[in-house]
Amino acid sequence: MLQEVFMKSYDAIIIGFGKGGKTLAGYMAKQGKRVAMIEKSNQMYGGTCINEGCIPSKSLIIQADKQSYGQAVERKEALIEKLRKKNFDKLDSLELVDVITAKASFVSDHEVHVQGAGVDETLYGDYIFLNTGSVSNIPNIKGIHEARHIYTSAEMMKERSLPAKLAIIGGGYIGLEFSSMYARYGSTVTVFEHGSRLVKREDQDVADEIQKVLEKQGVGFVFESSVKEFANEGEQVVITYDDAHGIQQKLTVDAVLLAAGRSANTKQLHLENTGVKLDQRGNVIVNEYLQTSVPHIYAMGDVKGGLQFTYISLDDYRIVKDHLFGNKQRTTKNRGHIAYSVFISPTFSRVGLSEQEAREQGYAVKTVSMPAAAIPRANVISQPDGLLKAVIDTKTDQILGCVLFCAESEEVINFVQLAMNQRLTYQEVGNHIFTHPTMSEALNDLFS
């Protein structure tokens, strides 16, 4: 006699407790849908931003001029534990949401196997949402897996002792943010960059200004370098590298931070058991509504590639929500210009095209720029370093792009983003009445 096997069935299975996934879980439960929220680690409720990304790093950055490093790490840990619990409780308290702490892997397009402490079963989902984020890239360098004191950014922020000498592999945005932070705590920081300059997607004058400010903070740079090997000498790390002339050099440090970018976190999902397709870089391929090649499976956040920001994951939720419950008008193609900020000191913020990108796309442009030292507020708060730059379309007077490398730019850039999305001319922004003395009023001068 055959025994009938009953499988738990859900309206939605969400894999990954990040911003888009957790927000969608709460909304769907309020619509009367039964939801399984699967998260592989009890240390990741709330997602990467809260536990390993934006919140812990910004907490440490903000405290860099106020606390010792050890005290800052303790306060950071207390903060993320509080936020992690708050995120868990918010979903776990919902009657229609089951929070399952286990590893998830696909059995088929509708079936997901979950395995963890006290959990080993297969679930069925009418809809499935991938929100598994990204993981740090580990370069293929000799000794990288054997040598001690080599960290990803998430691991580095959990260390309670400040390295006297720190090497950072990679001069991208993550590397620069951490270089500024650790230099301000008192570490001697050396950044190894394979290219001949910093942040290639930025204009040369902007990259030069970032380098100048960071060097003023005590950060050293080794350009056109190729790191060959890591090895321990006692409790230190010896880095063997080729310099710009191909000559082998060595540097001894107390810790190494790997900042070689991030990749989609899909390896353990067994997507080969589904029809979900990946691109050459391993990102989940989606359409403008964030559907994968299997229409009832969606992907949100870093796992699909593109800009890796929490607020993108949140807007991905809005797109999915509208596609499932709304009028299907929101897409990735109509969310407008997206700004981003890199929290070096001062903060680097940008929206739209660089001068180089605008010219390459055929625009006739003019550029305007000014030093941050010309802003009254910057001098009042004793943060005069930096540069402001805007790119203008000479035919339409529209703002094509803007860089704000100055204190509080993470707030001011949102005004510029809104102005661009509303298609205001640069004159309209330049004539706007701002309060005084604020960093925002710098836009009066920049767009004058």
DSSP structure string for 189-202: EEEEESSSSS-TTS
The token pair that represents 256 in the structure block: 């190494």
Q: Read off the amino acid at residue 233.
A: E
132 a known binding residue? Answer: yes
The token pair that represents 347 in the structure block: 């903060």
116 a known binding residue? Answer: no
The token pair that represents 24 in the structure block: 């969608």
The token pair that represents 150 in the structure block: 């080599």
190 a known binding residue? Answer: no
Is the Cα torsion angle 54, 60, 64, 67 positive or negative in sign?
Answer: positive
396 a known binding residue? Answer: no
267 a known binding residue? Answer: no
143 a known binding residue? Answer: no
Q: Which of 113, 149, 323, 436 is catalytic?
A: 436
DSSP structure string for 123-180: EEEEEEEE---EEE-----BTTTTSSSEE-HHHHTT--S--SEEEEE--SHHHHHHHH
234 a known binding residue? Answer: no
Q: For the chain, how far is it from start to end, CA to CA, in angstroms? A: 84
Asked if omega into 437 is within 30° of 0 (cis), the reply is yes
| Three-state secondary structure call for residue 240 | strand
261 a known binding residue? Answer: yes
The token pair that represents 72 in the structure block: 């800052």
170 a known binding residue? Answer: yes
* Contact present, 57 and 181 (Cβ < 8 Å): yes
Is there a catalytic annotation at residue 113? no
176 a known binding residue? Answer: yes
302 a known binding residue? Answer: yes
Q: Read off the amino acid at residue 131.
A: N
242/224 Cα distance (integer angstroms):
9
58 a known binding residue? Answer: yes
419/399 Cα distance (integer angstroms):
8
Strands 35-39 and 8-15: parallel
Burial of 7 (0-12, 13-18, 19+ CB in 10 A): exposed
How many other CB atoms are found less than 10 A from the CB of residue 102? 19
User: What residues form DSSP beta bridges with 121?
Assistant: 114
Q: Which residues, other chains included, contact 91 with Cβ-Cβ below 8 Å and sequence gap of 6+?
A: 17, 22, 25, 26, 37, 97, 99
The token pair that represents 251 in the structure block: 């540097």
171 a known binding residue? Answer: yes
| Three-state secondary structure call for residue 60 | helix
116/101 Cα distance (integer angstroms):
7
Per the annotation, binding residues for NAD(+) are 170-177, 193, 261
Per the annotation, binding residues are 58, 132-134, 170-177, 193, 261, 302
Which residues are catalytically annotated? 436
Per the annotation, binding residues for FAD are 58, 132-134, 302
